[in-house]
Structure 1
Amino acid sequence: MDKKYILRNNNHFKKVYKKGKSYGNRLVVMYVYENGMDYNRVGFSVTKKIGNSVVRNKIKRRMKESYRLNCYKIKDGYDLIFLPKVMANKASYREIESAMIHLLKIAKLLKD
């Protein structure tokens, strides 16, 4: 994934948290904000409540791979932030992937 498609700046994260809309299920919370560009930007954030650094990085890798494989299905022009919940540390890759796709369906961000 190219660097321009990743949210890195703390100000961008704050803007999405403050002005964006949130959607959640039992494994993941997703924040969405329309960015006015012709491409999507994505950010992943994992809190220390989830576990130690090994567990946090494993969950983040699973979410990034799930997004990478499904990003072509998402409408353009949005900033997305994915936050896993505590239950995600016991979830498999397939469960995390289906949870993320479920949130995209709820937010009506999937292409027809």
Structure 2
Amino acid sequence: MKFSESLKKNSDFQQVYRRGTSNANKYLVMYVKENRLERNRIGISVSKKVGNSVVRHHLTRLVREAYRLKEDCFCKGLDVVVICRVSSKDCTQKQIADALYHLGRLHHIMEDKE
């Protein structure tokens, strides 16, 4: 079941950056802000510094898939922006997923349902 949708507007991203809280690890930075909706909205940002469009799109897909697999473990009603760092360029799916779940636990927005 799909609980979330994508953040698309620049103004939505800016609001999460200004009013949200952030945590980071080696590969990702995560900003989280409450949105008072019944679902999450996730935005993924990958800078041109990371690589060409193929690399950036690949990282976006890895983050989106990692989120999708554990979507039901994340709390509802949040705007989440995930920023991929340059060091994430050569990461595997497992490394990206572990980094995403680590940040989810740091923000206390993820409960373990395993």
Normalising by the residue count of structure 2, what TM-score does the alignment of the two structures yield? Answer: 0.92
Counterpart position of 1:62: 62
Instruction: Give the secondary-structure state (helix, strand or coil) at the position aligned to 1:49.
Output: coil
Runs of 4+ off more than 4 Å? none
Give me the CA root mean square deviation. Answer: 1.4
The match for 1:53 is 53
Residue 8 of structure 2: aligned partner: 8
**Cα displacement (A) at 1:38:** 1.4
Q: Which 5+ residue runs of structure 1 have no aligned equivalent?
A: none
Count of aligned residue pairs for this structure pair? 111
Q: Which has the higher helix share?
A: 1
Q: Find the aligned partners of 1:95 and 1:40 in 2 and give their Cα distance.
A: 23
Q: Distance in 1 between matches of 2:56 and 2:5?
A: 22
Match of 2:92 in 1: 92
Separation in structure 2 between the aligned mates of residue 25 and residue 95 of structure 1, nearest angstrom: 11
Gaps of 5+ in 2: none
TM-score calculated relative to the size of structure 1: 0.94
Q: Per the alignment, in what secondary structure is the counterpart of residue 90 of structure 1?
A: coil
Q: Relative to total residues, which structure has the larger strand share, 1 or 2?
A: 2
